[in-house]
Amino acid sequence: MKPKAKVYIDGANMFYTQKKMGWIIDWIKVKNLLKKKDREIIEWRYYVGIKEGDEKMRRYLRYLDKIGFMVIITKPLKRIKISDSEILFKVYKTNYIYKANFDVEITTDILTDKSA
């Protein structure tokens, strides 16, 4: 019998990493790669904040739901001002970034989950 595992993903970290690197993650390929390993993935969770009225993000989340992710939206995004001298400004070419920190939610879910 294969050991069971769950996958917990911080969507904001993935978004900004993809943007910085200039590429897009193919979640179906990621899922297929992890399924080939000697474990059974019993759940995929994707944690993300969302801007009000962001239909593009909602379509993306519907896609993740369709391919088997449990999408967890627990808070709205915070708008954070950054100065022209910060590295983030140079990378993203904007004076604002949006952030929703899910460290506590992900950690709590992992520690309180008794099914895996």
Specify the number of domains making up the chain.
1
Question: Is the CB of residue 41 less than 8 Å from the CB of residue 34?
Answer: yes
Instruction: Give the residues of the chain that fall short of pLDDT 50.
Output: none
Q: Give the predicted TM-score (pTM) of the model.
A: 0.76
Domain span at residue 51?
Answer: 4-112
Give the pLDDT confidence score for residue 83 in this predicted structure.
82
- Coil, strand, or helix at residue 111? helix
Residue type for 1, please? M
Strands 96-99 and 78-81, by their bridges, are antiparallel
CATH of the domain at 45: 3.40.50.1010
Give the pLDDT confidence score for residue 45 in this predicted structure.
93
